[in-house]
Every structure is written in structure tokens, then in C-alpha cells.
Structure 1
Amino acid sequence: MTAQLPFHAPEPLHTPPELRELRDSGVIHKVRTRVGDDAWLVTGYEEVRALLDDRRLGRSHPDPERAPRFGESALLGTPVGNHETEQADHAHMRRILQPLFSPRRMRALRPRIARLTADLLDDMEKSGSPADLNAALALPLPILVICELLGVPYADRDRFRAWSVAVGDVADAARSTDGLMQLYAYGRELVDHKRHSPGDDIISDLCATDGLGDAEIASLSMMLLFAGHETTVVQIGYGALCMLGTPGEWPALVADPSRVDAAVEEIMRAPIAGTGGMPRWAATDLEIAGVTVHAGELVLLDTFTANHDPAVFPDPERFDPERFDARRCGADRAPAQHLGFGYGARYCVGAPLARIELTEVFGQLAARFPHLRLAVPTSEIRFTRDQLTTAIVELPVAW
């Protein structure tokens, strides 16, 4: 019987039982997407890593109207882009964006990110225990950071946040499409404003780049606005839940702040979604682990499950930052590289920024709230449904 996405996850922080069975039985599996179309789910670490950088897979399709669909989201549900020029278009986009998100530029932002984090923690402390860590920190910090970086008014956060949530709807195509159109229209407004009143921000930099039209700038900017806050919101929430819900981890970080970098890497590896991963369409026939995939078929690169491959990450269900601590891995071997930021040509340009935000969040939280704890059992934590990113709705904490 063909497995049906999404997989039921009785324990949100652990691999769904059906997905674990698939993973343990091989590295590529025939599945049906949530809309009933056939797809290949790739779960092996080595295979997913190689295919993320394989030009034979892409986000486009020669006949998008007839292509198998991943879901109803206008962002990832169906093929996008020009099939003939996809590789060149992607390389062009990365050439534009990588200098804007260089590690050096991101490091220069660190003092500001640290200050924003401290201010939010001040407010949380003043409001008193218990608090919703999601509302107090996980949601506002990434939005504040991406707004300052792009030059987007923070006062507009409720508007673009609502559109972002709509875009990520994998069950309602009309809602997702409307959210994407609203977000794009907002991007055009921002570009028009920056053309007349430029500032020290990325949208202004894009406006000053030769050869970029308003439509392309608006599209790039809104992609950055969506991706630049949505995933970090999710990772802060999951990270806090993992750190506080795993016995001994929070006291260990409090006692040894140098553990924070390894903790951030484990936070990027450990969460499991079970929603299917990254959709790609085969541009040509290819073989994956002995299975022939034909041109036009849908291939789902499940980075979440690949990050739980026991051949690469022993005891993968265990949240263990020490697996990324080079001091503890030994001089003869480096820690394995997780796929939380992708790989190769598909490696996330915003990875340096996300790492800085997560490091500031958990470093400052441990210093300011050494006795932080979950205020409810993990079984009572609620998660969003029918979204591209399965986020925590509310995270009650006490100290």
C-alpha cells in the first residue's frame, strides 16, 4: 500500500512511526501527496544531500499544468519558474543575494540583533512568569530583524504576517494564492517607495542594482521577507521546546555557555516535520538508489528525515548537542553536517543570519533565565496544521 502524506505524528518532536518504518526499509519510497498525486520520497542522508545539488532535479516542469502536485500552497505546491532557464535564473538570483547576506555583513548586524533580543527579554521579565515564549520572543525577534535588514516598516508586521501564514496554507489553494498576490503587491509598494526614498537596507540595495526591474525586486524582497522570518520563528520555538524538554540540557547550557553553538546546530537538525520535505521535479530520467525516476515525476527531498538517518546521526531521536561539538567528537573526525539549511547550490543564503539569531536567543535566555522551564507538559503543546512549516502555537514557560 502506498504511503499517504502527511504522516500522523503522535509525538511532534519524534519521527512519525510510519515514516520511521519507511526510513528503516530503504532510502526512496513511492508515496502519495496530500492532494493524491504520486511522488518519490527520498529519506536517506547521502541521497538527499547529493540530490539537493543535482541539476537533474528542479522547481520547474515542462508542462506545469499537468505536473504532479505537492499540495495547495502557491509557493511550493506546484512547479514554478521557466523550465528552459531555471538553472541560469537560480544562479542569477544567488549572485545577487549572496553578497547581501555575506557572513561579514551578518556579523556586523550581531550587536543590533543582540540588543533587540535583550529588549524583548526585558519586556518578558517585566511581564512576569509565566509567559508565552512564542509571543514574547520567537515571533517578534525574526520579524524585527528581517524588517530592519530589508527596510520593511515593522508597523506593517500584522499585515505581512497574515499574508505569510496564508501563503503557507497547504490545504486551501485560493487562500494561499491570495496571500501570495497580496504579499507581492506589498512588495511593489515598497520598491516604489525605495526608488524615491532609498535607505540603508537590502531593498534599497536591490533598487540600485543594474539590470533589476521593479517586478523582480518585489518578488525577491517578498521571498526574503517570508523565508527570512518564518523558518527562524519555527526554529526558536522548536529549539526552546527541545532544550527545555530534554532532561539536563538546559542546566548544561546554563553551566557552560560555550555549548550554545553546538546546541544551535542540533536545533537545526533535530525537529521532524513528516510533511514530505522539498518538492523537486525530474528534468530527465535518473536513477536514485537503484530506482528509476522518470522525467516529469515529483521527487520529495526529505531533509528532516535525512537528518535522522541513523547511519549518519546515531540515536537520531535523541536531542544531543554534543554530536556537533568538535571538542567532544575527537580530533580525528569532524561533526556530520546536517541538512537543515540545505546543501550545495541550494544552501540557504540566510544561514549566517539564522545562526546569529539562534545563538543570541539561546545564549541570552540561558544567562537571563537559568531556571527557565516549561509551564505545561510537552503533550499539551499545540502546533499549527496545514502549513508549510509546522510551528508551535504557544509555548508557556516559567522561571
Structure 2
Amino acid sequence: MTVQLPFEQEVPLQVPLLQRKLLRTGVIHRVRTMTGDGAWLVTGYDEVRRLLNDDRLGRSHPDPDTAARTNRSALFGGPLGNFDTEQPDHARMRSLLQPHFTPGRMRFFRPRVEALTARLLDDLSLREQPADLNTALALPLPILVICELLGVPYEDRDRFRAWTQAAADIHDRHRSEQGLGALFRYGLELVARKRRAPGDDVISRLCQVDDVGDDEAAMLAMALLFAGHETTVVQLGLGALVLLTEPERRQSLHADPARIPGAVEELLRLPGRASGGIPRYARTGFTLHGATIRTGDLVLLDNGAANHDADAFPAPDRFDPDRRGASHLTFGHGPRYCLGAPLARLELEVAFAQLISRFPDMSPAVPLEELRLRTDVLAGGLVELPVRW
């Protein structure tokens, strides 16, 4: 039987029932994507981790016009890049961006993230209850942080947030293309400004690289703007929800803040996800657990399912801030491991540490079953998170 994606997820945090069933019944499964295209879904932890580091898979396709798609987004719904030059192109991109997101740079930036978080929580404390933690903290903090790092005016946030949301639309291809185009034009505007008056920010430094032209600088800058806040917004909201539903463990973290970095890794792993995983295309044919994968086939590496594989994570549905053993695959693995992982970890550590300390009695203002998940955009996440304290 061919499984239809995306998985139905009725309650936030819980692993979708069908995804859980697939984890029990095998490693690789034939599925149909949102657009009706056939694909392979890989669910086991060991296999997902290995294939994320397998050069037989990539993000490009030898014939992009015929490629299977995961959704209708112009941004990530189908293949990306040039099939013949994908590996050197990707290596160049990482060489240009990685120096700006090293753990050392993030440590230097921590005091600023702490100050921004404190200001947002000051504002939250003055709000009428119940208040939406998404709009008070989860949304503005990543936008503030990425704006400062990149050199993007924060006052433009409503404009570029609208464009990133449009670009990430998984149902409306035309809207997605319009958002992507507007975002790129905005990137060109920023690049022109930075070339005239450079500052101490990532976009200015990209503009100072001799062989980086305006188009490449704009493309890289807007990719960072999108990826640098979109997924962190989701992680902050879902992670906060886990903490709010685990008051005893939250109190234990309040008593011993040194455990928060470990808790953040667990909060990155734990929430159930119905996304269908990380898309790759087969660059050559091969077999996997008896399945014949042909060149050009879409292979979905379900890191959400892998993060709940009981063989890698005993009692996978339990929040264990002190969990040891296998590393989660939320940021991927191998050569495409998320460049922004150090930044995301920094934001989550700071936000959760201050939230636990300043609002020790915070709790959800509605039952978990009443919270809604977004199904219209790539990253998903909570629509809102009403809280009391």
C-alpha cells in the first residue's frame, strides 16, 4: 500500500500515528507526496543518518522538469541547483557562509541575545493574560537576532516576514514564486546599500569578497534571512510547549541551569513532526533493504521519525533532559549539516533559561488538544501558544 503524505497530526508534540506505524514495520516505504508524486520514505535512525552522508543522494536532479516534488513551494518543493556542479557549488556556499556561524562567533554574540531575550520577556510580563508566547517570544527573537547578524533593518520585518511566508507556501506555487521574487529583490536592495556603506555584519562581509557578485550575495543573504529565523521560530514554540507541559522537569532545570544545554538537545529531538523529512534525489541507482531506487527518484529522509526510533532513543516519547547516546538528526548530518545550528542552539539555550527563571509557574492557557499546527508553510509550527503565569 502506498502511504499518502503529509501525515495527519491531530495533537502537537505527538508523533503522527501513521509515522509511528511505519517505524515499526520497516525502514523504507513507498509514499505519495502532497503533489501526487511517488517517493521513497526512509524512517529508521541508522539508515537516515547514513543516507544524509551518502553522496549517491543530492538536492539536484538530472531532469528537473520531470522530478517528483514534495509540495508546491517554489523554494523547497522540488530539486535545487545544477546536477553537474552540485557538489562544488555546495562547497563554495558553505565556504562563504560557515565562518560567520562558528561556535566561537556565537559565544561572542551571546550577551546580545541575552539582552534581546530579556527585553522581550520584560514586555511579556506587562501583557494581559493569557498572552501568546509565539508572538511575544518565539517569533520576534529569531527575527531580531538574524537581523542584527545580517545587517537587515528590523523595521523591515513585516515586509520580509510576509515574503518568507509566501515563499514557504506549500500549496500555492504562484504565491510562493511571488514571495521568492520579492525576497530576492529586497536582497539586491540590501546588497546595494552595503556596497555603498558597509557595516559590521554578514551581508557587508559577503559583499567584500572579491568574486561574489550582487546576485550571489543577495541569494545567500536571503537564504540566511529565511533559514535563520523560520525554523527557530518553530523550535522555540514547540520547545516551550514541551517545557510548559513538564512542570517537574522544568523546575529541576530551574534548580540546575547547567543542564539546560542538554535539555535543548532533547527539545530539538522530541516534538513529533509530520513534514515527511529531508528531500533528496538519487544521483545513481542503488538498493536499500530490498527496495530498488532508480536515478532521479525522490528519497525522503524522515529525521522526525528517526528521532523517535526506539532502537536509537529508548522510551523515545519521554522528555529526558539528561538523555545520553545517539545524537538527534534535527539539524541533519554530514556535509549538509545545518550551518545555523550553533545560532539556533544559542537562541534556544538563552530563551529557555530566561523563560524558566522568570516565569517558573507559566502554563498553557488551553488544553494541548486545542492547540493548532500550521499546515500551510514549509516549517509548520504552532499557530499560537496562549500561556498564563
* Bin for the TM-score computed over the shorter chain: over 0.9
* Equivalence for 2:17: 17
Q: How many residues align?
A: 389
Q: Does 1:161 align with 2:161?
A: yes
Give the residue type in structure 2 aligned to 1:323.
R
SS of the aligned residue for 2:124 comes to: helix
Higher mean alpha-carbon deviation, 137-146 vs 386-395, is at 386-395
Mapped contact 2:11–2:368 kept (Cα < 8 A): no
Q: CA deviation at 1:128?
A: 4.5
Higher mean alpha-carbon deviation, 139-148 vs 244-253, is at 244-253
SS of the aligned residue for 1:75 comes to: coil
Give the residue type in structure 2 aligned to 1:375.
A
* Equivalence for 2:339: 349
Mapped contact 1:143–1:157 kept (Cα < 8 A): yes
Q: CA deviation at 1:176?
A: 0.8
For 2:385 and 2:203, how far apart are their aligned partners in 1? 33
For 2:199 and 2:247, how far apart are their aligned partners in 1? 47
- After superposition, the C-alpha distances for 1:125-184 in whole angstroms (9 at most, x for unaligned) are 122433211111100000000000000000000011011111111111111111111111
Give the residue type in structure 2 aligned to 1:360.
V
Q: CA deviation at 1:371?
A: 1.1
Q: Does 1:321 align with 2:321?
A: yes
- After superposition, the C-alpha distances for 1:192-232 in whole angstroms (9 at most, x for unaligned) are 11010100000000000121111011001000000000011
Mapped contact 1:166–1:175 kept (Cα < 8 A): yes
SS of the aligned residue for 1:321 comes to: coil
- RMSD of equivalent CA atoms: 1.1
1:229-240 mapped onto 2 (5 Å cutoff): 229-240=229-240
* Equivalence for 1:374: 364
For 1:55 and 1:103, how far apart are their aligned partners in 2? 26
Give the residue type in structure 2 aligned to 1:256.
D
* Equivalence for 2:298: 298
Mapped contact 2:142–2:229 kept (Cα < 8 A): yes
Give the residue type in structure 2 aligned to 1:343.
H
For 2:166 and 2:121, how far apart are their aligned partners in 1? 29
- After superposition, the C-alpha distances for 1:222-277 in whole angstroms (9 at most, x for unaligned) are 00000000011000000011111135222222222222111100111012222211
Gaps (5+ residues) in structure 1? 325-334
For 2:17 and 2:159, how far apart are their aligned partners in 1? 38
Q: Does 1:361 align with 2:355?
A: no
Q: CA deviation at 1:106?
A: 1.1
SS of the aligned residue for 1:322 comes to: coil
Give the residue type in structure 1 aligned to 2:241.
L
Give the residue type in structure 2 aligned to 1:212.
V
Mapped contact 1:164–1:180 kept (Cα < 8 A): yes
SS of the aligned residue for 1:127 comes to: coil
Give the residue type in structure 2 aligned to 1:233.
V
The one of 323, 331, 340 aligned to 2:330: 340
* Equivalence for 1:203: 203
Q: CA deviation at 1:17?
A: 1.0
* Equivalence for 2:26: 26
1:1-399 mapped onto 2 (5 Å cutoff): 1-324=1-324, 335-399=325-389
Q: CA deviation at 1:12?
A: 2.4
Mapped contact 2:12–2:371 kept (Cα < 8 A): no
Mapped contact 1:55–1:87 kept (Cα < 8 A): no
Instruction: Give me the TM-score of the superposition, normalised by structure 2.
Output: 0.98
Higher mean alpha-carbon deviation, 275-284 vs 199-208, is at 275-284
Mapped contact 2:331–2:341 kept (Cα < 8 A): yes
Give the residue type in structure 2 aligned to 1:96.
L
- Residue identity over aligned pairs, in percent, reads 59
SS of the aligned residue for 2:126 comes to: helix
Q: CA deviation at 1:55?
A: 1.1
Give the residue type in structure 2 aligned to 1:121.
L
Moved over 6 A (4+): none
Give the residue type in structure 2 aligned to 1:243.
L
SS of the aligned residue for 1:397 comes to: strand
Give the residue type in structure 1 aligned to 2:21.
E
Q: CA deviation at 1:340?
A: 1.0
For 1:272 and 1:219, how far apart are their aligned partners in 2? 31
Give the residue type in structure 2 aligned to 1:60.
S
Instruction: Give me the TM-score of the superposition, normalised by structure 1.
Output: 0.95
Higher mean alpha-carbon deviation, 350-359 vs 379-388, is at 379-388
For 1:128 and 1:176, how far apart are their aligned partners in 2? 36
Mapped contact 1:383–1:390 kept (Cα < 8 A): yes
SS of the aligned residue for 1:34 comes to: coil
Higher mean alpha-carbon deviation, 196-205 vs 121-130, is at 121-130
Q: CA deviation at 1:290?
A: 3.1
SS of the aligned residue for 1:31 comes to: strand
Q: CA deviation at 1:376?
A: 1.2
